[in-house]
Amino acid sequence: MKATGIANTNIALIKYWGNRNHQLSLPYNSSISMTLDGMHTVTSVEFSKSFKNEVIINGIQAKSEEQQRVIDHITLIKKKLNIDVLLNAKVVSNNNFPKRAGIASSASAFAALTIAAVKALEKELTSQELSILARLGSGSASRSIFGGFVEWEKGEAEDGSDSYSTVLAEKEHWPELTMIVTIVNPQEKKIGSRDGMQHTVRSSSFYSAWRATIEQDLQQSRNAIYTKNFTELGTVVENNAFKMHSLMHTSIPPLIYWEPETIRMIKQVLNLRQEGIECYITMDAGPQVKILCLQKNVETILGKLSQFKEMHQYYVCQPGSGAQITDVHLF
C-alpha cells in the first residue's frame, strides 16, 4: 500500500539540546514548541519486496548519508511493528522550505515519514506511539506529530516509553501568536544538530547551568502560553535561545552556527523592540533568525526588515496543525 503524510515543522520555544541516551534520542530536558502553519514536508512511502530502497528528496536522489538515515528509520519502524524486514521502500519527499538550514526540517521530515510509513504498513498507532517513533528519527519530530503548542516530555524510563509529546494548547488557543522565520543565509549547515548537541554535552562547562535553569524556563513558558502573556513568553523564549547558543559557543572547539548576517539581524530585531515594536528572537542549529511577535505587528516588522538586504526570504507562520495522512500522493 502507498501512503502519504504531511507534517508541519515546529520551532522550539524552550529548546532541546542534548541527550541522556543518544541512540534513543532521550533528552536531558523537556522542550516546548509551536507547530508552524504552512512550513511543511509531504512524504509518500510504498513498500514492496520487488523494490530497491529508494529515497528522493525535493526531486533528486538523496545523498547516501541522507538515504541511509531514512532507510534506517524505516527499518526501525518495521522492527517495532514486527514486519518482514525484507520489504523495501520507495520514499518521495518534498519540503516547501530549505532543508538543513537550521529551520527544523528534520522535525517535519521525520514526522511525515513516520506517519506515512506506518500507514503504508497498514498499522494503526496512537498519536503517542507515533510521537515516540518519530522521536527515534529526530528528537524534534516527536513534537511535529501534534499541532498548536506542544511539550515533549523528557521522560524517565530507560527504554524511552515515556518520552513523547503532548499538546499544551491547541492552535486555536492563541492564533495571534506569529513566528516570522527569516532566511538570512540559505546554505546547508555542516554540523547537524545530532552531532552538535553531543559535542556540547561533552565539552561545554555551561551545560550544568543550562540544566539548572531549564525547569524554570519550561514553567514560565507554560504559564505564559496558558495565560497568553506575550511579554512573559517572548522574554523567556529569547533568553532560552541565547542560553542554548552560549552552550554551543562554549563547546571545545566552539560550535558557531551564526553567520555575520545573523548578528546583523539580531541587532535589527533588538532595535525594533527599542522602538516599541514588541518582538523577540529565537534561533536553532543554523544561522536563521526567527522572530516571535503578534499578528498585529507583522506588517510593521516586515516593512522595517524589507530594507535589510540580508533577508533573502521569509515565512510568516501562525500556530499550525499536527501531522496528517492525505490522499494526494507524490508518485
* Number of residues forming the site for ligand PMV (CB under 6 A): 15
* Window of 10-18, 112-120, 163-171, 289-297 that interacts with ligand PMV by CB under 6 A: 10-18
Q: Which of 5, 18, 98, 139 binds ligand PMV (CB under 6 A)?
A: 139
Q: What are phi and psi of 295, to 5 degrees?
A: -50, -35
Q: How far is the CB of 286 from ligand PMV (least distance, A)?
A: 8
Q: In Å, how far are 121, 140, 299 from 216, measured between CA atoms? A: 42, 21, 33
Grid coordinates of 237: 523564549
User: Nearest to residue 117, comparing CAs of 328, 327, 325?
Assistant: 325
Q: What are phi and psi of 185, to 5 degrees?
A: -155, 105
Q: Which residue has the cell 548519508?
A: 65
Q: Which residue has the cell 520489504?
A: 87
3-state DSSP assignment of residue 330: coil
Q: Which of 134, 284, 320, 323 binds ligand PMV (CB under 6 A)?
A: 284
Q: How far is the CB of 275 from ligand PMV (least distance, A)?
A: 29
Cβ atoms < 10 Å from Cβ of 210: 22
Cis peptide before 27 (omega within 30 of 0): no
Query: Which residues in the 28-87 window bind ligand PMV by CB under 6 A?
Result: 31
180 binds ligand PMV (CB under 6 A): no
78 or 154, CB closer to ligand PMV? 154
100 binds ligand PMV (CB under 6 A): no
Binding mask 229-268 for ligand PMV (x = CB under 6 A): ----------------------------------------
- 224 and 236 in contact (C-beta within 8 Å)? yes
Query: Which residues in the 101-120 window bind ligand PMV by CB under 6 A?
Result: 104, 106-107
Query: Which residues in the 188-217 window bind ligand PMV by CB under 6 A?
Result: 193-194
Residues that bind ligand PMV (CB under 6 A): 12, 15-17, 31, 104, 106-107, 138-140, 193-194, 284-285
